[in-house]
Chains A and B, each alone.
Chain A
Amino acid sequence: MQETVIELRGIINQFGRTRVHDDLDLDVYRGEVLGVVGGSGTGKSVLLRCIAGLRPPQGGSIRIFGQDALNCSEAERRAIDMRMGVMFQDGALFSSLTVRENVEVPMRNLAGLNAGLRRELADLKIAMSGLPYKAGDNYPSELSGGMRKRAGLARALALDPEIVFLDEPTAGLDPIGAAAFDELIKALSETLGLTVFLVTHDLDTLHATCDRIAVLAEKRVMYTGTMADMLHIEHPWVHEYFHGPRARAAVETLERNA
């Protein structure tokens, strides 16, 4: 039996009078890589922000690690947040700190971790996200987009969280960089036992990394299932998404490589 780490029930999100989510249910299991897809404006990022605690939903319940995340004390919420990491689209690194200092920021909350050890651990995280050692001394503005994403991932992983949220991790990367990032996510989720909540538009990423896919449509999670399941769904949007010209190309490359 799989352990549910995130449990969403009846989530309602609305902006003014437009309802983005209506009675949305979703489960995320421990150790899986869950890809969330959906057309533009279906509220993928809103959902991510909801779970990460950046935006309370108008209705419904969120349970994280079996705990009610909406009705808990600030200390409990902080404890939950410490076990989760978020990588924002463009990294959202603090621009006045070097990459190493950025990765050290979450570690400063831990008592007893001295500066030397913090630095060594930050260097380790930077190396694990595939950045060269020297990048630790750079400021975010001196890095390329792909390196900023890796630095954002290093910061999200700083405290060895159990869940990481990745918002469009491969958007704006060149195909080689994107493929390398996919491998990185896969390898990290396998060795660290990470649960990954991945919002993406990139079909290659879905193919390469995701154990399970959740499709957002009509204001809720329409379907969940593996990539193979997705290919047999008749819903017009889902069919178009997974059978369009780009989807076919992604499947073909995958089959060629296999």
Chain B
Amino acid sequence: MVQTGADRTTHDTDRVAGGPEQARIDSTGAEHALSGVLTVRSLPAILPKLDALGEKDLKIDLSGLKKIDTAGAYALIRLQSRLQNEGGTLSLAGVQPDHQALIERVAQSLPKPEAQTQARRGMMDGFDSLGRKVVEFLRFLGDLHAMLGLFLARLVHVIRHPSEFRVTALVHHCDQVGLKAVPIVALMGFLIGVVLAFQGSVQLRQFGAEIFVVDLIAISILRELGILLTAIIVAGRTASSYTAAIGSMKMREEIDAMRTLAIDPALALFVPRILALLIVLPILGMIANLTGLIGGAMMAWIELGISPGMFMARLLDDTSLDHVIVGFVKAPVFALIIGVIGCHAGMQVGGNAESLGAQTSSAVVRAIFMVIVADALFSVFFAILGI
């Protein structure tokens, strides 16, 4: 291709700037001539004009065509098949050899659409999807129990064969789940204590019953809030990280690799993670309780003038140990719920990145929801027992 220097530069800058790539159709009577550049960029403008050509037997001269790409070739083939359907013909004249080759190539590789069955949407589909969702939910509950059973079975196995247990993994997860969560749990407990003391003092002062603020703080934090809010924070932090870690291993076939290497994923992945939660959650709950009481005592001192010594004495005299026990009994159950849901969601991850994200967020939502449901059931249970 020989071009003069000046000619070429203008030509190139024109194109680089995404310049006007246009196709023109000139009609003189029944003679049509297509010129310019027929590409995917110029197609939207020229296509309506091609469709508007009314004759049955169309003759188009392409000798003025500078450039054509597959989209342009496709437009010509589409025009041809439209005319054939109407019983006409399309004859192209003055086609350059390389353009001809391209058009033939595109014509050869035209897709052959297969009939698609369009799903009908009606009343029955609604019932159908409702039924599927119910079954899916029941299956999910079943899966969770299976996961719990698997964990317990492997735990027993580990107790009988302690050499197979991965202590390093357990320590690592205790560090990740426990130690690194201490600051946020402590801060959360402290603030809850402060808020309870402040709100309680405003109300109790009306009755002159300021001193009961100690009972209010002690009972609500030790019995309910300390462990529940800790569990919710841990569910957010840990269920998601378990799902993401196990899910990405699943996605990259690492879990399949483990199976082929005779490593039991349940033993290697689930047991250390869930066990770490079982160990760490009560400790975190205790920290939340402690900082909650400190926060409450501080606020009671500032707001009501109850000295820390008096707070302590009142706390030890009046608050039954039952509250603390009731609080801590829940911790292992919450830990199991969070761990099992996190690990289960990780195993549900499929082959693509999107399912990893979906499972991670749904693991958090489910874990928090189930923790609250379990807490409600505990309340009913303890009420019946009268503790």
Contact = CB atoms under 8 A, between A and B. Distances in A.
Q: Do A and B come from one complex?
A: yes
Interface of A: 1, 3, 65-67, 75-76, 78-80, 82-83, 95-96, 107, 110-114, 117, 120-121, 123-128, 133-134, 136, 139-142, 157, 159-160, 187, 190-193
A107 to B, nearest CB: 7
A95 B352 contact: yes
B289 interface: no
A21 B108 CA distance: 43
16 contacts: A75-B18, A79-B17, A79-B18, A95-B351, A110-B40, A114-B44, A121-B70, A123-B113, A124-B110, A127-B109, A128-B109, A141-B352, A160-B70, A191-B102, A192-B70, A192-B102
B: interface residue count bin: 35 or more
B74 interface: yes
A191 B352 contact: no
Given A114-B44, A134-B114, A187-B105, A96 B17 contact: no
B354 A67 contact: no
Contact of B16 (A65, A113, A125, A128): A65
Nearest to A64: B16
Contacts, number: 97
> Which of B2, B12, B15, B111: most chain A CB closer than 10 A?
B111
Contact of B70 (A124, A141, A142): A124
A95 B354 contact: yes
A188 B94 CA distance: 23
B32 interface: no
A107 B352 contact: no
A96 B74 contact: no
Interface in B74-125: 74, 78, 98, 101-102, 105-106, 109-114
Contact of A159 (B9, B17, B40, B45): B40
Given A96-B354, A124-B106, A107 B40 contact: yes
B39 interface: yes
Contact of B43 (A96, A113, A136, A190): A113
A67 B12 contact: yes
Contacts of A133: 111-114
Contacts of A157: 70
Contact of A124 (B2, B18, B101, B111): B111
Contact of B15 (A65, A107, A160): A65
Contacts of A124: 70-71, 74, 106, 109-111
B266 to A, nearest CB: 25
A22 to B, nearest CB: 29
